[in-house]
Structure 1
Amino acid sequence: MQKFDVIVVGGGMVGASVALSLAEQGLTIAVIEKQQPSHVDDSAPYNLRVSAISLGSEQLLKQLDVWQHIVSQRHAPYRKLAIWESDYSYTEFDAASISQPHLGHIIENHVIQHAIWQKLSGHNNVQLFVGESVTALVQDNKQCNIQLSNSEHMSAKLLLAADGAHSTIRQLANIGTTGWDYQQSAMLINVETEYEQQDITWQYMTPQGPRAFLPLQHNQASLVWYDSPDKIKQLLSLNNQQLTDAVEATFPSRLGKVSVIDKGAFPLTRRHANRYSQGRVVLLGDAAHTINPLAGQGVNIGFKDVKALVEHIVSAIAEGKPWDNKDVLKGYERARRTDNLLMMSAMDAFYFGFKHPSGVVKLLRNAGLAIANKAPVIKEQALKYACGL
């Protein structure tokens, strides 16, 4: 049986970053991931899965010394964020208001994952197990023991679950969740655009759901179309020209002319684990929480989980205390659970508020946006929080 300090299950953006962070602290790490990250090819079409990486997440990736590799690939910085339902409620946030050069970057998920894996694969404290999954978990007061799909056994002081919304580890550890389905789906549409790369990301709110624009490099963009599952299913059945016509008929005129390149969709769900640790099992990222993607906060709050857990472990090591004990894990949960719940609830309030059909509610929400647009202190604080600063 192989023994490690920490086993990380899930080598996506969050799992890979926590593995690298802890390896840099001298801990021995095993990373179990079903699929090797895809090779980054700048000549290939953009992948549908992109993330809006906040300033806070950028800081973490710089600390891991992978940011320069990431931005040497395709990325699109944005300086402004806009939201509106009607012309008089148009609200725009600008990086200059918080003395920053940008608010974030739109980057393909696999670009971020590949950059972290390149450093992981050459790290002396890391061993990668690709193509494997966990089939059994037993833990006691001293360690976690797991069995892999190839029947291999290994143990560690901590088992970190970063294996996504349908986390196997969360289920094996008997950690329940609360949440609901939003009865909506989000369609991702990669398009070629009339305009050159823009420095703004925006959301136009409609009763059916938002229409969102994410800038990509050159004359390309990622669009997000929120709607009922039936509507999204119907849109998926269209050919690219038909979908192009539907986009131009539905999205704001500021989008300009577009041509659809690729499309995909996923249902919207909210899930929150009842606890973030059980014994020596710890949840991070989507294994702990899935959030409405309205403001692109999913991976960013996952990176916040990484920061908090690593800070608590490093603090214990510096003080000569056991870094794997219950107090450390509870400290991590206290640091993240309330903050995550606040962000999830804020996104839900925003989402449901704009879906409410009442004319009075519509008047109030548009008045609220108009007022917020003229309240610089409120805008700045909200922007700093969203950026992870």
Structure 2
Amino acid sequence: MSPSKIELAVIGAGPAGLALALLAARELPEARITLFDARPLEADVSQDPRTLALSLGSVQILQRLGVWPAAQAQPILSVHVSQQTPTPLPGPFLPRYRDPQVLIEAQRERVPMLGAVLAYGQLVAPMQRAWQDEVARDPGRLASRFGSKVAGVKPLPDGVEVDAGIVERYDLAVIAEGGVFADQARKSVVHDYRQTAWVGQVELRGLPPGMAFERFTSQGPAALLPLGPGRAALVWCVPTDDDPVRELDDAQRIAVLNHVFPPQAGRIVGISPLKAFALGLNAERRLVDGRTVRIGNAAQTLHPVAGQGLNLGLRDAYELVRRLSRDADVDAALRRVEQHRAPDRWGTIAVTDFLARSFTWQWPGVSALRGWGLAALQRLQPAKSLLARQMMFGRR
């Protein structure tokens, strides 16, 4: 079976699934592609306010597809990473780095931006319109099955059966519908961090334009992602079993956050209602299982400390279509996808998992060691640039 002529089912019309469907429609001009999603087509996804943080590599994929909403996106021009409590550091770092911090700047890395922030609906709505336009241009080859929940995917020797009310055969199924950690069936690699992420938006005075902040605290990481003048998305991670946020009112939350974040972030003066999400690692050991491929949250759900979940999914989609467009055999293409994606995928999972678990360790010196690492990284520009490239483009 030539990959260019496959019958492909894409399950899930979120950013990863839509990106895959659009890439496949354009790079596999003889393939027949059907996109499934339980959401009705008439549902207005444009108003979904969830915040997405995309790396520069992800932005470039979406620009190539012609679906990047530049007018709505807020570029990340710099990232300030620091530790809340000043940590005594040994040796030459002591005089200068009592408040350990790392500053990564797009200008220094010679890129237009490190990434960008926008609402889920601002991205998915134009992607969905672009897909529907593709379907309208080529209805004999492309199809949308919105409002069709997939009940199951059954493996066959040379394909899969997709059950969405009617059982149909496809050469390949890509599952891109993941959901959040608390609602997922448990996969092969699982760890509950016993942390809760409180997410929402804040208003600030003195917020530097285009600057994102990641703050390591004794309770967990907290982040501010720029949304425009005086506004930022908030991700505030705390222990589930000793949650200091749940019982606070808005004024108290603002007071605590102004203590958590460094002075460089400005002063928080307003806060939206916050939503809570359980945090954990839930990952498949392999992306490929026969003729079924999982990408995005369907393959791995990560802690938000590194902000890499969706970016991994978009890189998965890009590599899968690239291999299908170049290889002469479907199964050979899938083997190469698994091999090529493994270093980036497992490297990102390992780093994210290590950082997330480190906030639960009560060992003496853990905070000091983290602070020492930040101070050292700030001094070593080549290492800092390597980290920046990894966050922007993944492991290549």
2:233 pairs, out of 216, 222, 234, with: 222
Q: 1:51: which partner in 2?
A: 52
In the TM superposition, what is the alpha-carbon distance from 1:236 to its structure 2 partner? 4.0
State whether residues 79 and 104 of structure 2, in contact with CA within 8 Å, keep that contact through their aligned partners in structure 1: yes
1:336 CA drift (Å): 1.2
Structure 2 unmatched ranges of 5 or more:
87-97
Change in CA separation of 1:136 and 1:355 when aligned onto 2, cut-off 3 Å: closer
Q: Confirm or deny: 8 A CA contact 1:202 1:214 kept in the other structure.
A: yes
CA distance in 2, matches of 1:38, 1:121: 14
Q: Deviations over 1:155-214 (max 9, x none)?
A: 2110111110579xx98xxx9521211010111021222236622111111110012111
Secondary structure of the structure 2 residue equivalent to 1:11: coil
- Could you tell me which of 1, 9, 12 is aligned with 1:10? 12
Q: Which amino acid aligns with 1:131?
A: G
When residues 292 and 377 of structure 1 are mapped into structure 2, their CA distance, relative to the original with a 3 A threshold, is same
Corresponding residue for residue 353 of structure 1: 358
Using the TM superposition, name which of 12-21 and 198-207 deviates more.
198-207
Q: Is the 8 A contact 1:290 1:298 kept in 2?
A: yes
Query: Post-superposition shift, 1:83?
Result: 1.1
1:106 corresponds to which residue?
Answer: 117
1:367 corresponds to which of 364, 368, 372: 372
Aligned match of 2:390: 385
Which aligned pairs between 1:305-324 and structure 2 lie closer than 5 A? 305-316=316-327, 321-322=328-329, 324=330
Q: Distance in 2 between matches of 1:104 and 1:255?
A: 21
Percent identical = 24
Cα separation, partners in 2 of 1:279 and 1:39, compared to 1, 3 Å: closer
Give 1:354 deviation, angstroms: 4.9
- Equivalent position of 1:117 in the other structure: 128
Q: How does 1:197-346 map to 2 (within 5 A)?
A: 198-232=209-243, 235-253=245-263, 254-316=265-327, 321-322=328-329, 324=330, 326-346=331-351
* Aligned ranges 1:148-227 → 2 under 5 Å: 148=164, 151-165=165-179, 176-195=187-206, 198-227=209-238
Alpha-carbon deviation of 1:19? 0.7
CA distance in 2, matches of 1:359, 1:231: 20
How many residue pairs are counted as aligned between the two chains?
365
SS at match of 1:29: strand
SS in 2 for 1:274: coil
Q: Give the conservation status (yes or no) of the 8 Å contact 1:162–1:287.
A: yes
Q: Deviations over 1:217-236 (max 9, x none)?
A: 2221111111012454x634
Corresponding residue of 1:40: 46
Q: Which amino acid aligns with 2:44?
A: S
Post-superposition shift, 1:4?
Answer: 7.2
Q: Per-residue deviation at 1:273?
A: 0.5
Q: 1:252 to 1:372 in 2, by over 3 A?
A: closer
Q: CA separation in 2, counterparts of 1:137 and 1:369?
A: 45
Partner of 1:76: 74
Deviation at 1:285, TM superposition (A): 0.9
**TM-score, normalised on structure 2?**
0.85
Shift of 1:238: 4.4
Partners of 1:144 and 1:214 in 2: how far apart? 41
Moved more, 367-376 or 87-96: 87-96
Q: Which runs of 5+ in 1 are unaligned?
A: none
Structure 2: which amino acid aligns with 1:11? A
Distance 1:136 1:259 in 2: 45
Once residues 331 and 256 of structure 1 are traced to their aligned partners in structure 2, the CA distance between those partners, rounded to angstroms, is: 49
Alpha-carbon distance in structure 2 between the residues aligned to 1:201 and 1:344: 22
Distance 1:121 1:265, change over 3 A: same
Whichever residue aligns with residue 70 of structure 2, its letter is: V
Say whether the 8 Å CA contact 1:206–1:355 is kept in structure 2: no
In the TM superposition, what is the alpha-carbon distance from 1:39 to its structure 2 partner? 4.4
Distance of 2:246 and 2:189 partners within structure 1: 30
- CA separation of 1:362/1:240 partners in 2, compared to 1, >3 Å: closer, same or farther? closer
The change in CA–CA distance for 1:239 and 1:197 in structure 2 (over 3 A counts) is same
Larger deviation, residues 197-206 vs 112-121? 197-206
SS at match of 1:82: strand
Distance in 1 between residues matched to 2:198 and 2:81, nearest whole Å = 19
TM-fit CA distance, 1:315: 0.8
- Residue 363 of structure 1: how far off its partner (Å): 2.4
- The Cα shift of 1:277 comes to 1.8
Q: Contact 1:4/1:30 (CA < 8 Å) preserved in 2? A: no
- Contact 2:35–2:145 under 8 Å retained in 1: yes
Q: How far, CA to CA, are the matches of 1:28 and 1:202 in structure 2?
A: 44
